[in-house]
């Protein structure tokens, strides 16, 4: 919400009070997705004016406040009410089975999704996909949607819990609950994403419970995704938990190196980019285990090559990605981690690397080793090298010592949490 206010404020500064009050104050933030924000406006006229007269200011500000790859999508309430004639699925057309790379880590979920796509409401209902963020849950669930919407012309509806929640709140405010219910109940396939956001939303859970029953009983398919198992979603109602667990639970695990390389190759093939083997390996090694970050880094390399008018080579890639690490906090280099820890304890990076066993230096050094082990892929010997070639047994000892102390000292636990927060 803070970002949204900032966004509005920047726009107001840009276009002046009068236009702002007239055209922007009636806008509602519908939802913030992965790479777009969705806005709702009262009617089609608003939508046209915004798209025609304020498009530049909107897209510039959204990039500035939400991120370079963000776009704005505008819906009018009229358009929503018109859903009788036009069915909106909210699917990303790129999220298909063809574009989904299958490996050991996602084989099971993929097979389950295929089975569901081939016989909706007959194979597994609901299908519940779970796994950490950025591993392909949304892609896979939308692949089911794209397949069924295309092949059988089924009414597919994709919605994240956050959007569902906003939609519900708006409907309650505008006394449009009946329309809200009808809209969701008309779906042949409901894809409900990010269930972890159900925490603490009682009305939403109640509404979802009835929607679930209604769809399930009329033989409609439900596909659910979350980064937690139903039993691990805080405050999830028992009756929802048992329904979510009533079908098939399928997990997606982080990809290994080989899989990461395969995904990069697939992405390169999709947009006809030549991607040398060593570059693919470099990018794959640099990303911990998140496919979204993997893609982000690849995009960055491609953009860098195109801006500088150079072919994609290993040295270009190293340059492109070293820049990235300076700008974003997505993946930090060991160098930056050392800098942050040193700063936290008020010492110099040199002190961390030194041989001094004075407690003022030795303790932060051990903490830093523990953090490196925690947030990077580096091996013990590799970590040792960063600290003036310390032997790997020293690193192991330090990591274990901090781990042990952490359990006993609340103060250290808190310090570590504060530090870790800066690395995510
Ligand atoms: P999640 O919903 O689990 O957070 P997403 O489905 O949004 O993750 O995936 C993040 C990005 O990674 C998407 O752009 C998606 O296309 C891509 N991706 C994930 N898994 C695969 C895969 N197995 N093959 C190809 N692309 C993938
Ligand atoms: Mg997702």
pLDDT tens digits, residue range 61-101?
Answer: 899 888 888 989 888 776 655 544 567 788 888 899 999 99
Q: Is 107 in the pocket of ligand 1 (CB under 6 A)?
A: no
Question: Would you state the pLDDT for residue 219?
Answer: 96
pLDDT tens digits, residue range 4-21?
Answer: 878 888 888 888 776 777
Ligand nearest to the CA of 270: 1
Ligand nearest to the CA of 130: 1
Band of residue 374 on the pLDDT scale cut at 50, 70, 90: confident
Ligand nearest to the CA of 252: 1
- How far from each other are the two terminal CA atoms of the chain, in whole angstroms? 20
By most ligand atoms within 8 Å of CB, the mutation choice from 34, 98, 134 for ligand 1 is 134
Question: Would you state the pLDDT for residue 1?
Answer: 57
With a cut of 90, say whether residue 107 has pLDDT above it.
yes
Question: Would you state the pLDDT for residue 323?
Answer: 59
Q: Among 201, 196, 207, which residue's Cα sits nearest to residue 231?
A: 196
pLDDT tens digits, residue range 226-279?
Answer: 999 999 999 999 999 999 999 999 999 999 989 999 999 999 998 899 999 999
Of the two residues 132 and 23, the one the predictor is more confident about is: 132
Question: Would you state the pLDDT for residue 169?
Answer: 92
Q: Whose CA is nearest to atom 13 of ligand 1?
A: 292
Question: Would you state the pLDDT for residue 80?
Answer: 57
Question: Would you state the pLDDT for residue 127?
Answer: 98
How many whole angstroms separate alpha carbon 143 and alpha carbon 136? 10
Ligand 1 center from residue 293 Cα (angstroms): 10
Ligand nearest to the CA of 162: 2
Ligand 1 center from residue 412 Cα (angstroms): 36
Question: Would you state the pLDDT for residue 157?
Answer: 94
Q: Is 134 in the pocket of ligand 1 (CB under 6 A)?
A: yes
Q: Is 292 in the pocket of ligand 1 (CB under 6 A)?
A: yes
Q: Is 100 in the pocket of ligand 1 (CB under 6 A)?
A: yes
pLDDT tens digits, residue range 192-224?
Answer: 999 999 998 999 999 999 999 999 999 999 999
Q: What is the mean pLDDT of residues 135-162?
A: 93
Ligand 1 center from residue 210 Cα (angstroms): 30
Q: What is the mean pLDDT of residues 330-353?
A: 84
Of the two residues 120 and 379, the one the predictor is more confident about is: 120
By most ligand atoms within 8 Å of CB, the mutation choice from 69, 99, 136 for ligand 1 is 136
How many whole angstroms separate alpha carbon 402 and alpha carbon 374? 12
Mean pLDDT for the chain overall: 88
Instruction: Give me the percent of the chain exceeding a pLDDT of 70.
Output: 94
Residue pointed to by tokens 């933030």: 29
Ligand 1 center from residue 17 Cα (angstroms): 41
Closest ligand 1 atom to residue 132 Cα is 3
With a cut of 90, say whether residue 137 has pLDDT above it.
yes
By most ligand atoms within 8 Å of CB, the mutation choice from 103, 111, 225, 291 for ligand 1 is 291
With a cut of 50, say whether residue 315 has pLDDT above it.
yes
Ligand 2 center from residue 94 Cα (angstroms): 14
pLDDT tens digits, residue range 25-62?
Answer: 778 887 788 888 888 877 777 787 788 778 888 888 89
Instruction: Give me the percent of the chain exceeding a pLDDT of 90.
Output: 54
pLDDT tens digits, residue range 395-407?
Answer: 999 999 999 998 8
How many whole angstroms separate alpha carbon 24 and alpha carbon 12? 8
Q: Are 129 and 223 in contact (CB under 8 A)?
A: yes
Give how far Cα 184 sits from Cα of 156, 181, 198, 376, 380, Å.
10, 5, 17, 43, 52
Of the two residues 152 and 212, the one the predictor is more confident about is: 212
Q: Is 295 in the pocket of ligand 1 (CB under 6 A)?
A: yes
Q: What b/e string do you get for 135-163 counting C-beta neighbours within 10 Å, with b at 16 or more?
A: bbbbbbbbbbbbbbbeeeebbbbbbbbbb
Q: Is 106 in the pocket of ligand 1 (CB under 6 A)?
A: yes
Closest ligand 1 atom to residue 255 Cα is 23
- Predicted TM-score (pTM) of this structure: 0.63
Q: Is 160 in the pocket of ligand 1 (CB under 6 A)?
A: no
Ligand 2 center from residue 117 Cα (angstroms): 19
């Amino acid at each position: 919400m803070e970002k949204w206010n900032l966004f509005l404020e920047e726009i107001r500064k840009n276009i002046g009070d009068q236009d702002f009050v007239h055209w922007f104050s009636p806008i509602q933030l519908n939802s913030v997705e992965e790479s777009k924000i969705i806005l709702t406006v009262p009617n089609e006229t608003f939508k046209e004016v915004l798209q025609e007269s304020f498009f530049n200011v909107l897209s510039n500000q959204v990039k500035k406040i939400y991120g370079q790859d963000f776009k704005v999508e505008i819906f009018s309430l009229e358009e929503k009410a018109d859903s009788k004639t036009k069915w909106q699925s909210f699917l990303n057309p790129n999220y298909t089975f063809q574009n989904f790379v299958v490996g050991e880590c996602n084989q099971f979920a993929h097979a389950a999704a295929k089975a569901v796509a081939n016989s909706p409401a007959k194979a597994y209902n609901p299908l519940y996909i779970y796994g950490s963020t950025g591993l392909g849950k949304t892609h896979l669930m939308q692949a089911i949607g794209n397949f069924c919407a295309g092949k059988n012309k089924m009414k597919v509806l994709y919605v994240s819990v956050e959007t569902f929640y906003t939609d519900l709140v708006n409907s309650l405010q505008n006394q449009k609950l009946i329309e809200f219910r009808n809209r969701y109940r008309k779906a042949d396939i409901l894809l409900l994403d990010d269930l972890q956001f159900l925490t603490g939303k009682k009305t939403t859970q109640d509404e979802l419970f009835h929607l679930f029953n209604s769809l399930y009983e009329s033989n409609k398919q439900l596909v659910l995704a979350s980064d937690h198992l139903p039993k691990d979603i805080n405050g999830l109602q028992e009756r929802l938990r048992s329904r979510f667990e009533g079908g098939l639970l399928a997990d997606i695990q982080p990809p290994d190196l080989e899989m990461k390389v395969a995904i990069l190759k697939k992405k390169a093939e999709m947009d006809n980019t030549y991607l040398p083997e060593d570059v693919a390996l470099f990018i794959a090694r640099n990303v911990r285990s998140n496919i979204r970050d993997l893609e982000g880094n690849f995009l960055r390399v491609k953009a860098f090559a195109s801006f500088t008018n150079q072919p994609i080579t290993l040295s270009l890639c190293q340059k492109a990605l070293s820049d990235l690490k300076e700008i974003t906090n997505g993946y930090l280099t060991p160098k930056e981690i050392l800098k942050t820890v040193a700063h936290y304890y008020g010492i110099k990076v040199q002190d961390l690397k030194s041989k001094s066993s004075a407690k003022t230096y030795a303790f932060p050094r051990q903490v830093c080793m523990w953090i490196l082990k925690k947030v990077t892929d580096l091996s013990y010997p590799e970590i040792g090298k960063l600290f003036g070639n310390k032997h790997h047994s020293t690193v192991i000892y330090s990591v274990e010592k901090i781990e042990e102390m952490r359990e006993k000292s609340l103060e250290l636990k808190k310090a570590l949490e504060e530090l870790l927060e800066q690395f995510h």
